[in-house]
């Protein structure tokens, strides 16, 4: 159950990093508080209950809504591709790019693509994937993974960004944030105009419309989904909601919880390729529906609520542990409280066993979760599972030791003989005491003979000697 202590200590000892995490999360906390207050949004708690109920209903009937989504995407001229793994998703894109002669694609922010190491998989086959969200672009250049679900480069300062742009792009050393942004806009604008494939994630999939909903602030998702000839959306299967009208609930919660915006700057509701009379938009539309372990999470009726998450990041901002150790000390791309409950479920509780314990169970995460996932309850449940696994492993260790001891005794005849003669005396009581009691309770031990083989042999030899 040990956390990677040295890395965490390093983060705690870095005052610049501590300040960056603290100020950024503080801003996000304050922005959210301003727009979910009783005055700003009187029915906020009703919306949370409604969101929870809609997610619950959809997840409990997931196969139905996925099939409905699929048939509506097809009805609007798009295609749906089910992918079991990240490799399958990457293989589909590689195959399509090869058939269309595409060598570069633009990408908007998608945690799902981060989860499956999408860019790395494509680059291995010389298909360049350019991140276009400013934060993601900086991280791609710096070869780092997102620090936060919503604000990926939260840990970097303007000076870090200046270093990255200078080192990776040969840019002049520029520390004014407006100028850095303008510089990135210029570089990425060219990529948007050249790319033939645009890849986006999806915040919601709408079953009754066959649509993908993408929310963002920069316009890079709009560009990625509108400028290139092909749009590919990648989404986890849990992102589906039944009806377009359910967006009244979810859009009113997502932006507020994430960045404190009643609505983010752009909300794109996309379905299929451009229609016959439309002037622009993609000619081809693909929706990649990713499993990558999600169906495993469905098996447990209580834990499947982990799949309600809409990735707003509010639980990270409010978590006293995340705010100290930061995003990179979590083992997977999903950090903070939500990461602590989904990582063990995706990767198995035997991996990173410290994770469910990295919480004071203060409950701040559950209080701010817009879809009311019972994060502390699930953390406790996962702790139980970790302890259970550990206990089983520990008894396994003792058993292994016992058999090794037996092997050593059995290969040393004098000791074996001594213990065997003692054993026949003590055998009736030994399995009923100490650690052997538990072992014995599940097994039937053979009863030792009254006479050992050696004793019998000795007496037999003695008899034959006497008779000869």
Residues 2-21 contacting another protein, CB under 8 A:
20
Token code pair at residue 99 = 């058939």
Nearer to another protein, 116 or 247 (CB): 247
Supply 113's token pair: 């693509």
| Out of 39, 99, 465, 467, the residue judged to bind another protein by CB under 8 A | 99
- Choose between 41 and 361: whose C-beta lies nearer to another protein: 41
Using the minimum distance from each CB to another protein, give the nearer residue, 89 or 420: 89
In this structure, are residues 118 and 90 in contact, taking their beta carbons and an 8 Å threshold? yes
Nearest approach in angstroms of CB 268 to another protein is 5
Binding mask 36-75 toward another protein (x if CB under 8 A, else -) reads: -------x------x--xx-xx-xxxxxxxxx----x---
Q: Report whether 175 contacts 156 (CB < 8 A).
A: no
* C-alpha span between 81 and 291 (Å, rounded): 11
List the interface residues with another protein, window 395-454 (CB under 8 A): none
Residue among 108 and 353 whose Cβ is closer to another protein: 108
Nearer to another protein, 220 or 335 (CB): 220
Tell me the Cα Rg of the chain: 30
Which range of residues in 247-255, 320-328, 342-350, 403-411 is near another protein by CB under 8 A? 247-255
Residue whose token pair is 């990529």:
191
Residues 6+ apart with CB under 8 A from 147: 153, 154, 155, 156, 326, 327, 328, 335
Handedness of CA 162, 17, 260, 341 (dihedral sign): positive
Draw the binding track, 260-299, toward another protein (x: CB under 8 A; -: no contact). -xxxxxxxxxxxxxxx-xxxxx---xx--x-x---xx-xx
Rounded to the nearest whole angstrom, what is the least distance from the CB of residue 316 to another protein in the complex? Answer: 14
Q: Could you tell me the CA-to-CA distances from 347 to 72, 285, 308, 332, 384 in Å, in that order?
A: 33, 31, 18, 10, 16
Query: Two tokens at 253?
Result: 């919660």
132 vs 329 by CB, closer to another protein:
132
Q: Is residue 340 within 8 Å of 356, Cβ to Cβ?
A: yes
Nearer to another protein, 30 or 399 (CB): 30
- 134-153: which residues touch another protein (CB under 8 A)? 134-135, 138, 151-153
CA 244 to CA 209: how far, in whole Å?
Answer: 7
| Positions in 107-136 near another protein (CB under 8 A) | 132-135
Q: For residue 454, give the DSSP letter.
A: H
- Nearest distance, CB of residue 183 and another protein, angstroms: 11
Tell me which residue of 183, 177, 142 sits closest to 159, measured CA to CA.
Answer: 177
Minimum CB separation of residue 434 from another protein in Å reads 42
- CB-based contacts of 352, cutoff 8 Å, min separation 6: 331, 343, 344
Q: How far is the CB of 329 from another protein (least distance, A)?
A: 20
Among 83, 325, 333, 386, binds another protein (CB under 8 A): 83
Closest to 196 in 3D by CA, of 290, 117, 130, 276 = 130
Q: Which of residues 155-184 bind another protein (CB under 8 A)?
A: 156-158, 161, 177-178, 180-181, 184
Contacting range for another protein; rule: CB under 8 A; set: 215-223, 331-339, 381-389, 459-467: 215-223
């Amino acid at each position: 159950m040990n956390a990677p202590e040295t890395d965490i200590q390093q983060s705690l000892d870095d005052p610049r990093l501590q300040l960056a995490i603290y100020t950024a999360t503080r801003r996000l906390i304050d922005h959210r508080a301003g727009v979910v207050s009783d005055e700003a949004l009187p029915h906020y708690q009703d919306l949370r209950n409604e969101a929870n109920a809609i997610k619950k209903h959809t997840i409990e009937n997931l196969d139905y809504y996925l099939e409905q989504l699929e048939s509506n995407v097809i009805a609007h001229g798009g295609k749906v591709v089910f992918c079991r793994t990240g490799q399958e998703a990457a293989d589909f894109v590689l195959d399509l790019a090869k058939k269309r002669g595409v060598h570069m694609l633009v990408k908007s922010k998608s945690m799902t693509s981060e989860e499956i190491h999408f860019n790395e998989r494509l680059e291995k086959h010389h298909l360049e994937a350019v991140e276009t969200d400013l934060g993601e672009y900086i991280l791609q250049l710096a070869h780092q993974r997102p620090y936060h679900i919503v604000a990926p480069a939260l840990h970097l300062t303007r000076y870090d960004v200046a270093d990255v742009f200078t080192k990776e792009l040969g840019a002049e050393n520029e520390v004014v944030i407006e100028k850095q942004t303008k510089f990135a806009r210029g570089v990425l604008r060219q990529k948007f105009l050249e790319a033939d494939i645009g890849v986006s994630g999806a915040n919601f999939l709408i079953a009754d419309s066959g649509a993908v909903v993408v929310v963002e602030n920069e316009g890079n998702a709009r560009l990625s989904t509108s400028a290139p000839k092909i749009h590919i959306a990648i989404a986890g299967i849990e992102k589906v909601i039944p009806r377009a009208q359910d967006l009244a609930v979810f859009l009113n919660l997502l932006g507020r919880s994430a960045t404190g915006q009643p609505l983010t700057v752009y909300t794109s509701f996309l379905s299929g390729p451009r229609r016959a009379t439309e002037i622009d938009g993609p000619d081809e539309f693909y929706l990649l529906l990713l499993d990558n372990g999600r169906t495993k999470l469905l098996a447990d009726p209580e834990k499947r609520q982990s799949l309600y998450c809409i990735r707003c990041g509010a639980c990270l901002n409010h978590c006293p542990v995340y705010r100290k150790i930061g995003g990179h000390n979590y083992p997977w791309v999903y950090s903070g409280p939500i990461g602590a409950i989904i990582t063990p479920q995706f990767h198995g509780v035997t991996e990173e066993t410290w994770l469910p314990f990295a919480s004071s169970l203060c409950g701040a995460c559950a209080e701010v979760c817009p879809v009311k996932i019972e994060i502390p309850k699930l953390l406790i449940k996962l702790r139980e599972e970790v302890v259970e696994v550990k206990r089983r492993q520990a008894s396994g260790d003792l058993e292994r030791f016992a058999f090794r001891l037996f092997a050593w005794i059995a290969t040393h005849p004098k000791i074996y003989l001594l213990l065997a003669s003692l054993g026949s005396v003590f055998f009736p009581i030994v399995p009923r005491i100490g650690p052997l009691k538990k072992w014995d309770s599940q097994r039937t031990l053979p009863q030792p003979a009254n006479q050992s083989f050696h004793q019998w042999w000795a007496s037999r030899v003695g008899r034959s000697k006497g008779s000869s």
